[in-house]
Amino acid sequence: MPKQHKILLLDDDEQLLELYQELLQQLPSQPEVRVCNSGARAIALLESEPFTLLITDLRMPKMDGLQVLAIVRRKYPYLRIIVLTGVLDEEYRSRAYALGVDMFWQKPSSTEEFTLFKDCIESLLDRDIAHETGFRGMQNKSLVDLIQLEALSQSSAVLLISQGGVSGKIWVEGGEIIDAAAATFTGEEAFKVILSWKGGNFEILPAEANRPRTIHKSAQGLLLDSAQALDEWRGQQAGAPAGSTTTILNLAPSNMSLAPLARFEGVEFLVTMPVDEKAGCESWGIENAHDVAEWARTAQKRLWQLGEKLGAGELTQVSGSGWQRHWALTADDKKGLLCAGFRRTLPTEKVEQTMKHIFAKWVS
């Protein structure tokens, strides 16, 4: 017996939801049609049960359709997605397709358009996406491949690449890489930082007109330089004695204050907070540094006070691990607080050891 398809309809217009629910339930495949009127509710429903197709509006309060798409496409690569909007805007269309939607439809306004729309839905439901290979979000392509494709097609776009809590951008104009930005780096250094990431997500955004050019090397030249630097680093890693503190690829300019600390193995981010709380924080490799700094200060203070009450001695280190990364927090009376994030694959003992080395270097 063929599996019954399940469609989720997302729109803030209740009347429209009722109308489309009734229409779609009449499709030959007789799908089950669920409705919701907010992005958050849609995401919750998608998490709780499997759906075949999501049909979403774009203009909605609080969480708009593009935000929903960005989340949903990443989490459910096999979910078919149709945008159904009353607004025909080329920028929205290209962004929606860049986010990996299957179709972009203006809301039908005649019987014929409704019939066409229903035919499209039916054909989309019939496709066995789970066994298709290729380019949905280009998940099976390396960053080098993506950049070469952009260069070959001589297109103009902005590649937004994200890895964990960090993201970077590469500006491409007429097939040439003209600029890059990642964390606190720009230009060629930022390009090399992004190339050193082993995995993540990407989006192709519309090109930005009048972006100043900071990279003058050809795409192939940049890729070759980065590949050479990565090979040299891998060679160093292979030859490093066991248990020693090794360095990551030296992609950080030497004048960045936290760059020397970021060279320790496995470091994904750093946040330092001086003793004076009003002085703000410094960071490397993380976007929400202020939120992390605020949390780190509060956590350190709370646990330190607890230790004082218990008579447990000095609070030497706080550390943790989650599905994304490890982290560690340690304090110095004069320098302040240091919080570091480490890649998830680094063993816990290595995290503690590396944090001690980083801390020693920071206070020296």
Partner 1 sequence: MGILKKKTPREPQRLPTGTFTVDAQGHVVSSTVPQAVPPEVVQEIGEAVVSVFQGARKANVAFSEMTAQYATFKITAREMRGGAIIFLTTKAPRISIS
| Helical packing angle, 65-75 and 90-98, nearest 10° | 10
Binding residues for partner 1 (CB under 8 A):
165, 288, 291-292, 294-295, 298-299, 302-303, 306-307, 309-323, 327, 341
Identity of the residue, 62 or 309, whose beta carbon is nearer to partner 1 in the bound complex: 309
Identity of the residue, 124 or 270, whose beta carbon is nearer to partner 1 in the bound complex: 270
For residue 247, how many other CB atoms are within 10 A of its CB?
14
Q: What angle do CA 163, 169, 173 make, to 5 degrees?
A: 145
Least separation in angstroms between CB 352 and partner 1: 9
Residue 239: in which H helix or E strand, if any? Answer: helix 219-239
Least separation in angstroms between CB 65 and partner 1: 23
Identity of the residue, 207 or 299, whose beta carbon is nearer to partner 1 in the bound complex: 299
CB proximity list for 98: less than 8 A, separation 6 or greater: 203, 204, 205
Least separation in angstroms between CB 320 and partner 1: 4
Least separation in angstroms between CB 339 and partner 1: 9
Identity of the residue, 27 or 303, whose beta carbon is nearer to partner 1 in the bound complex: 303
Least separation in angstroms between CB 6 and partner 1: 28
Identity of the residue, 309 or 334, whose beta carbon is nearer to partner 1 in the bound complex: 309
Place of tokens 């937004």: 160
Residue 88 in tokens = 């025909």
Least separation in angstroms between CB 78 and partner 1: 26
Could you tell me which of 154, 236, 159, 150 has the C-alpha nearest to residue 197?
A: 159
Residue 151 in tokens = 């260069």
Identity of the residue, 41 or 290, whose beta carbon is nearer to partner 1 in the bound complex: 290
Strands 267-273 and 282-284: antiparallel
184 within 8 A of 284, measured Cβ to Cβ = yes
What is the C-alpha to C-alpha distance for residues 346 and 341, in angstroms, rounded to an integer?
A: 11
89 within 8 A of 43, measured Cβ to Cβ = no
